Amino acid sequence: MQLLGQATDIAPYANWMPPMLSEHGGQIDNLISVLHIFMAILFVAWGAFLTYTVIRFRARAGHKADYHPVKGKASKYAEIGIGLFEVFLLLGLSMPVWAAYKNNPPKADDRVEVRAIGEQFQWNFHYPGPDGVFGRTNAKFIDAASNTVGLDPDDPAGKDDIQTIGEMHIPVGKPIYVRVSSKDVIHSFAIPTMRVKQDCIPGMEIPIWFTAKEDATTERVKREMIQEFPVADVDWYRLRHHVAVQDYQDESGQVILKEGEGIGLSREAGEKKLKTLRDVTDTIKMQPRNPLEIICAQLCGNSHFKMKAQVFTYDAAGYQEWMDNAVPKEVEIDFGGF
Amino acid sequence: MSDHSHDLPFWKKYIFSVDHKMIGIQYTVTALVFLAIGFGMMLVMRYQLAYPNQPIPVIGQFLGEPIVAAVENPDTGETGYVLTGDGYNSFGAMHGTIMVFLAIVPLAVGGFGNFVLPLQCGAPDMAFPRLNMASYWTYLPGGILMMFGFFVKGGAANSGWTSYPPLATIATTGQTIWLLGMVILITSSLLGSVNFIVTVVQLRAKGLSFFRLPFFAWAQLVTAFLLLLAFPPLEAAGVLQLMDRVAGTSFFDPGGLIVSGVEQNTAGGGSPLLWQHLFWFLAHPEVYVLILPGLGIISEVIANNTRKPLWGYKSLVYSAIFLGFMSFIVWAHHMFMTGMGTTLSTFFQATTMIISVPSVIILTCLIISLWGASIRFTVPMLFALAFLPMFGIGGLTGLPLGLTASDIHLHDTYYVIGHFHYVVAPGTIFAMFAGIYYWFPKATGRKMNEWLGRIHFAGSFVFINAVFMPFFFMGMASVLRRQFDQTETLHGAAVQGLSVMSTWGAFGLAAFQLPFVFNFFWSIFAGERVGANPWHATTLEWSAPSPPPHGNFLSEPVVACGPYEYSVPGEAEDYTMQSPPPATA
Ligand code: HEM
Ligand SMILES: [Cu+2]
Ligand SMILES: [Cu+2]
Q: What is the CATH number of the domain that holds A256?
A: 3.90.105
SS3 at position A87: helix
Among the residue ranges A216-220, B302-306, B417-421, the one predicted with the least confidence is A216-220
Inform me whether the pLDDT recorded for B18 exceeds 70.
yes
Question: Hey, is the C-beta of B357 within 8 angstroms of any chain A C-beta?
Answer: yes
Q: How does strand A206-211 pair with strand A167-171?
A: unpaired
| Torsion angles phi and psi, residue B531, rounded to 5 | -90, -160
Task: Count helices and strands (H / E) in chain B.
Answer: 21, 6
End-to-end Cα, chain B, rounded Å: 17
Interface test with B, best of A298, A300, A303 (most B CBs within 10 A): A298
- Kindly give the interhelix angle for B514-526 and B430-444, rounded to the nearest 10 degrees: 10
Residue A82 falls inside a structural domain: no
Q: What is the pLDDT of residue B303?
A: 97
Chain B residue with CA closest to A47: the answer is B389
Q: Which ligand is nearest to the CA of A124?
A: 2
Contacts of B382 (CB under 8 A, 6+ apart): B453, B454, B457
pLDDT of A8 above 70: no
A72 touches chain B (CB under 8 A): no
Partner A, chain B 81-110, Cβ-Cβ below 8 Å: 84-86, 88-89
Whether residues A57 and B405 touch (CB distance < 8 A) is answered with: no
Residue B337's SS3 state is helix
- Chain B residues within 8 A of A305 when measuring between CB atoms: 85, 480, 482-486, 488
- Residue A15: band (very low, low, confident or very high) from pLDDT cuts 50, 70, 90: low
3-state secondary structure of A274: helix
In a domain, A243, yes or no: yes
From the list B363, B438, B483, the residue with the least C-alpha distance to B92 is B483
Name the residue among A79, A144, A81 with its Cα closest to residue B260. Answer: A144
In this prediction, residue A335 has a pLDDT band, given cuts at 50, 70 and 90, of: very low
Q: For chain A, say whether B286 makes contact (Cβ under 8 Å).
A: no
Cα gap B304→B313, rounded to integer Å: 14
**Which ligand is located closest to the Cα atom of residue B49?**
1
Reading phi first (left if > 0) and then psi (alpha if -120 to 50, else beta), residue A21 is in: alpha
pLDDT of residue A268: 86
Average the pLDDT over B457-465 and give the result: 98
Q: What is the mean pLDDT of residues A265-292?
A: 89
Residue B82 — very low, low, confident or very high, per pLDDT cuts 50/70/90?
Answer: very high
Q: Give CA–CA dist B264/B258, Å, rounded.
A: 6
The pLDDT of residue A90 is: 85
Q: Is the pLDDT of residue A9 over 70?
A: no
**Which residue, judged by its Cα, is nearest atom 41 of ligand 1?**
B160
Query: Within a 10 A sphere around the Cβ of B239, how many other Cβ atoms?
Result: 15
Q: Is B89 close to A306, i.e. CB distance below 8 A?
A: no
Most confident of A4-13, A256-265, B525-534: B525-534
Provide the H-helix boundaries in B310-429. 313-326, 342-368, 379-396, 399-402, 404-410, 414-423
Q: How far is A327 from chain B (nearest CA, A)?
A: 25
- The residue whose C-alpha atom lies closest to atom 2 belonging to ligand 1 is B39
Interface contact B392, partner A, CB < 8 A: yes
State the pLDDT at residue A11: 29
Determine the Cα–Cα distance for residues A220 and A247; give it in Å rounded to an integer.
20
Q: pLDDT band at residue A330, thresholds of 50, 70 and 90?
A: low
Whether B259 contacts chain A with CB within 8 A: yes
Per-residue pLDDT at A30: 87
Q: What is the mean pLDDT of residues B561-574?
A: 92
In a domain, A250, yes or no: yes
The pLDDT, as a whole number, for residue A251 is 84
pLDDT the model gives residue A332: 47
CB A209 within 8 A of CB A127: no
Q: How confident is the model at residue A186 (pLDDT cuts 50, 70, 90)?
A: very high
Closest C-alpha to B444, from B365, B539, B523, B550: B523
DSSP A195-227: TEEEEE-TT--EEEEEEB-TT--HHHHHHHT-E
Nearest Cα of chain A lies from the Cα of B142 at a distance, in angstroms, of 26
Percent of chain A with pLDDT over 90: 49
Burial of B145 (0-12, 13-18, 19+ CB in 10 A): middle
The one-letter amino acid code at B490 reads L
Q: Average pLDDT in the A211-219 region?
A: 91
The stretch A298-308 carries a mean pLDDT of 94
Which residue from B268, B403, B473 is facing A90, i.e. has the nearest CB?
Answer: B403
Residue A6, pLDDT > 80, answer no
Are the C-beta atoms of residues B423 and B396 closer than 8 Å to each other? Answer: no
Task: Indicate if the pLDDT at residue B102 is higher than 80.
Answer: yes
Q: A173 in a domain, yes or no?
A: no
Q: Does residue B194 have a pLDDT over 50? A: yes
pLDDT of B507 > 50? The answer is yes
Q: Is residue B260 within 8 Å of residue A136, measured between CB atoms?
A: no
Give chain B's mean pLDDT.
93
Pocket of ligand 1 (CB under 6 A): B 39, 42, 92-93, 95-96, 99-100, 104, 160-162, 290, 417, 421, 424-425, 429, 467, 481-482, 506
Give the closest of A68, A94, A306 to B403, CB-based: A94
- Please answer yes or no on whether B342 and A95 come within 8 Å at the CB atom: yes
Q: Return all residues near B451 (Cβ < 8 A) that are at least 6 apart.
A: none
**CB A292 within 8 Å of CB A4:** no
Q: What CATH architecture does domain B4-50+84-254+268-543 belong to?
A: Up-down Bundle (1.20)
Region B325-331 average pLDDT: 93
pTM value?
0.94
Cα B358 to Cα A201: distance, rounded to the nearest angstrom? 35
Smallest CA–CA separation between B404 and chain A, in Å?
7
Would you tell me which residues 188-217 of chain A have a C-beta closer than 8 angstroms to some C-beta of chain B? 188, 190, 192, 195-199, 201-204, 206
**Those residues with Cβ within 8 angstroms of residue B113's Cβ, 6 or more apart along the chain or in another chain:** B24, B192, B196, B220, B223, B224, B293
In the structure, what pLDDT confidence band is assigned to residue B583 with cuts at 50, 70 and 90?
A: low
C-beta of residue B149 within 8 angstroms of C-beta of residue B174? yes
In a domain, residue A20? The reply is no
**Backbone angles phi and psi of A317, in degrees to 5:** -65, -45
Q: What is the pLDDT averaged over residues B45-59?
A: 94
pLDDT of residue B519: 97
For A322, the 3-state DSSP assignment is: helix
Contact present, B242 and B182 (Cβ < 8 Å): no
Q: At residue B539, does pLDDT exceed 70?
A: yes
* Domain region containing A235: 226-288
Asked if A149 and A137 touch (Cβ cutoff 8 Å), the reply is yes
| The pLDDT of residue B1 is above 70 | no
Q: How far lies A87's CA from each of B333, B357, B399, in Å?
A: 17, 11, 12
Question: What's the whole-number mean pLDDT along residues B523-546?
Answer: 95
- Could you tell me the pLDDT band of residue B423, with boundaries at 50, 70 and 90? very high
Strand order in the sheet with A293-296: A167-171, A308-314, A293-296, A187-191, A196-200
Condensed to tens digits (0 to 9), the pLDDT of residues A120-168 reads 999 999 999 888 899 999 888 988 888 999 999 999 998 899 999 999 9
Res A337: pLDDT? 39
Q: Does B229 touch chain A (CB under 8 A)?
A: no
Q: Does the structure show a pLDDT above 50 at A12?
A: no
Measured between CB atoms, does A1 come within 8 Å of chain B?
yes
Report which listed range, B54-63, B427-436, B576-585, is most confident. Answer: B427-436
Q: How far is CA A169 from CA A113, A149, A188, B365, B522, in A?
A: 11, 16, 19, 55, 66
pLDDT of residue A5: 35
CA-atom Rg of chain A in angstroms: 26
Is residue A2 pLDDT above 50, yes or no? no
- Amino acid occupying residue B181: G
B126 dihedral zone (left: phi>0; alpha: psi -120 to 50; beta): beta
Is residue B348 packed enough to be buried (19+ CB in 10 Å), middle (13-18) or exposed (0-12)? buried
What is the average per-residue pLDDT within B497-508? 96
Q: What is the pLDDT of residue B8?
A: 79
CB A115 within 8 A of CB A181: yes
Mean pLDDT of B285-300: 95
Instruction: Please give the residue that has the higher pLDDT: either B7 or B234.
Output: B234
The HSE-up count of residue B240 (CA atoms within 13 Å, CB side) is: 22
The neighbouring-strand residues paired with A287 are: A243
B376: left (phi over 0), alpha (psi -120 to 50) or beta: beta
- With an 8 Å Cβ cutoff, is A181 touching chain B? no
What mean pLDDT comes out for the span B201-206? 94
* Residues B426, B428: Cα–Cα separation, whole Å: 6
Rounded distance from Cα A305 to ligand 2 centre (Å)? 8
Per DSSP bridges, beta strands A112-119 and A175-182 are: parallel
pLDDT value of residue B520: 97
Q: Tell me what the mean pLDDT of segment A199-203 comes to.
A: 94
The whole-chain average pLDDT of chain A stands at: 87
- Chain B residues close to A94, C-beta within 8 Å: 349, 403-406
Residue B238 has pLDDT above 90, yes or no: yes
pLDDT class of A4 with cuts at 50, 70, 90: very low
Cβ–Cβ below 8 Å for A69 and B159: no
> What pLDDT does residue A311 have?
96
Asked if the structure places residue A316 within a domain, the reply is no
